């Protein structure tokens, strides 16, 4: 199998697993702490907006190329295999693309960070 074909297969597997994590986060058989982390990972992965923008050299691709796949793999291991396989089958049938909620969360984080920076570095007019 050529490298490009393996990469596409891997990307499809990651996409399916992200959707399966989202589904598992709503499953009552999954522990609450796993649900909490799984929903954060899934929403971020499905968000069209990155926490670290891609135009930042090296760091921009770090989250998508290394951190996100590692987080997805870790979450998949925390969910019981039978439950994960069930949600993988459902995810493969649906193939979810993006999450508006994820985009809203990331935009909110960026706005909060910008507000914090403005508050820290804005000159004090009283002094």
Bin 91: left if φ > 0, else alpha if -120 < ψ < 50, else beta.
alpha
CA angle 70, 40, 94 (to 5 degrees): 85
d(CA 31, CA 78): 9
Question: From the CA atom positions of the chain, what is the Rg in Å?
Answer: 18
pLDDT, residue 108, reads 87
Which are the contacts of 90, defined by CB distance < 8 A and separation ≥ 6? Answer: 20, 23
Average pLDDT per block of 10 residues along the chain, 127 residues long: 76 82 91 89 76 73 78 90 92 71 81 89 70
Summarised one tens digit per residue, pLDDT across range 48-73 is 777 777 777 777 777 777 788 888 88
The number of beta carbons lying within 10 Å of the beta carbon of residue 16 is: 20
pLDDT for residue 61: 73
- pTM value surpassing 0.75: no
pLDDT of residue 86: 93
Query: Token pair for residue 117?
Result: 């920076």
The 10 Å Cβ neighbour count of residue 24 is 28
């Amino acid at each position: 199998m050529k490298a490009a074909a393996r990469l596409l297969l891997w990307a499809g597997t990651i996409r399916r697993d992200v959707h399966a994590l989202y589904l598992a986060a709503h499953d009552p058989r999954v522990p609450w702490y796993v649900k909490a982390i799984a929903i954060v990972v899934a929403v971020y992965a499905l968000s069209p907006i990155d926490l670290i923008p891609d135009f930042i050299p090296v760091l921009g691709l770090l989250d998508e190329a290394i951190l996100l796949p590692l987080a997805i793999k870790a979450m998949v291991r925390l969910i019981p295999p039978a439950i994960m396989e069930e949600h993988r089958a459902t995810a493969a049938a649906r193939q979810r693309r993006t999450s508006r909620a994820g985009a809203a969360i990331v935009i909110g984080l960026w706005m909060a960070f910008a507000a914090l920076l403005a508050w820290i570095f804005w000159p004090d007019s009283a002094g």
